[in-house]
Amino acid sequence: MTEVYATIIFMFVLFALLGSSVWVGLALMGVAWVGMELFTSRPAGDAMITTIWTGASSWTLTALPLFIWMGEILYRTRLSEDMFRGLAPWMRFLPGGLLHTNIAGCTLFAAVSGSSAATLNMVGKMSIPELRQRGYPEFMIIGTLAGAATLGLMIPPSLTLIVYGVTINESITKLFMAGVFPGLVLAGLFMLYIMAWHYVRPGERPPKEERMPFGKMLAESRFLLPVVGLVIVVIGSMYMGYATATEAAAVGVVGALLLSLGQGSLSWDTFVTSLMGATRTSAMIALILMGAAFLSLSMGFTGLPRALAAAIDSYNLSPVMLIAVLTVFYLILGMFMDGLSSVVLTMAIVEPMIRQAGIDVIWFGIFLVVVIETAQVTPPIGFNLFVLQGMTRHQIGYIAKTAIPMVALMLLMVVILVIFPELATWLPENARQ
């Protein structure tokens, strides 16, 4: 019965704090403090100080602000504009035309950003005006951008995978490698959706793009080389075993600074703005992780995670059934919380369940990211929907409607991962260590 009372008290205090607009990290600390005071004899203050310091001083976490800063530099310099300019010539002749720049642009920028919101902002500010000017339907412009921006959560470097890896003490590099193929497959599904629209609704096609000489296409592609080179260096160094995730992040920051400096778009103001932007985002995530570490300790004293894992085990659910239940759980949770908070809040309970069920934790990390991606474009609190609303001034209901096909494709991706788990496990198992 102690576990039942603990669960009721934890949930009541958590929702009371979140409902009163307390920051997520502080709310987690508040819940943990109450749990320590009520269910243990250990001094709560001493436990909190020790746990927070241990959680915040992890060397692995150093990769987090560095990858965020790399994305901020690219976002605030002309490198992002050049990337779009280099992509467009190769997309225009595909069925669906320049709509594919939404998918390809998000995929490429995700490989240097790690953030869904940053990916959406960068690609959206480039593609939305261009696609509108060329007569592409608004429904497709908004919908494809809403879905494709979520690739920032999966394709390495992914901030969500860093947080997940730190939370369960798993290799960040392996998690990054695991996200490559599923990310590309999901991007391919989005592009197939655009091609299907092209053939099913021919009346909505814009005027055909003018032909561009092959030589000019190659010339325009030179604008892609800096960002593509940076992606190859960052991801390639991890895959070949030359660098850890933290070392690759440091190389990425230096590379982004040198590229923007050589391009002439790095000013002192841009440097300071990108640094402060990365600092604010990193501090927010660190506070959430501190609160989650303290909450995990508090819940461990109550025996709640073990009790819930045992309760789930008593139902004799197969791994597939457990994944189905967790999919629904995270979709509902993601409607009301951001992805990072969803991960850190639940891992203390979910991790024992998946380990007991024999589910690979690397694979589960990729599954978790796909489900969280889906929640990012699911009302009522789909974060990407609000970002798009600010960019386009459309009603949130209209934006959510445009994203429905993309949500369906992301759920299909969950099914593909269950049927073909090797998509997520093959690369980390075969990468050089």
pLDDT at residue 420 above 90? Answer: yes
Give residue-wise pLDDT tens across range 264-279: 777 888 888 888 888 8
- C-alpha 309/C-alpha 318 separation (Å) is 14
State the DSSP H helix or E strand holding residue 302, giving kind and residue range, or none if neither. Answer: helix 268-302
Structural contact between residues 327 and 371, judged by C-beta atoms closer than 8 angstroms:
yes
Helix intervals (H) in 243-267:
245-263
Backbone angles phi, psi at 134, to 5 degrees: -90, 0
Closest CA to 11 of 235, 295, 238: 295
DSSP 121-145: HHHHHHHHHHHHHTT--HHHHHHHH
Q: Average the pLDDT over each of 127-131, 360-364, 400-404 and give the range with the smallest value.
A: 127-131
Give residue-wise pLDDT tens across range 157-175: 787 888 888 888 888 888 8
- C-alpha 400/C-alpha 412 separation (Å) is 18
Helix intervals (H) in 303-360:
304-314, 319-334, 339-356
Give residue-wise pLDDT tens across range 309-352: 666 667 777 888 889 988 888 887 776 666 677 787 778 778 88
- C-alpha 122/C-alpha 106 separation (Å) is 9
Categorize the per-residue pLDDT at 286 as very low, low, confident or very high, splitting at 50, 70 and 90: confident
Helix (H, G, I), strand (E, B) or coil at 288: helix
- Taking the domains of the chain in order of start, what are their residue ranges? 2-430
- CA separation, residue 17 to residues 22, 39, 198, 281 (Å): 6, 19, 48, 22
Give residue-wise pLDDT tens across range 79-109: 666 777 777 777 777 888 888 888 888 888 7
What average pLDDT score do residues 231-245 get? 79
Dmax over CA atoms of the chain, in Å, equals 76
Instruction: For residue 396, count CB atoms less than 10 angstroms from its CB and return exposed for 0-12, middle for 13-18, buried for 19 or more.
Output: middle
pLDDT for 409: 92
Q: Average the pLDDT over each of 219-233, 237-251, 283-297, 406-420 and give the range with the smallest value.
A: 283-297
- Quote the pTM value: 0.78
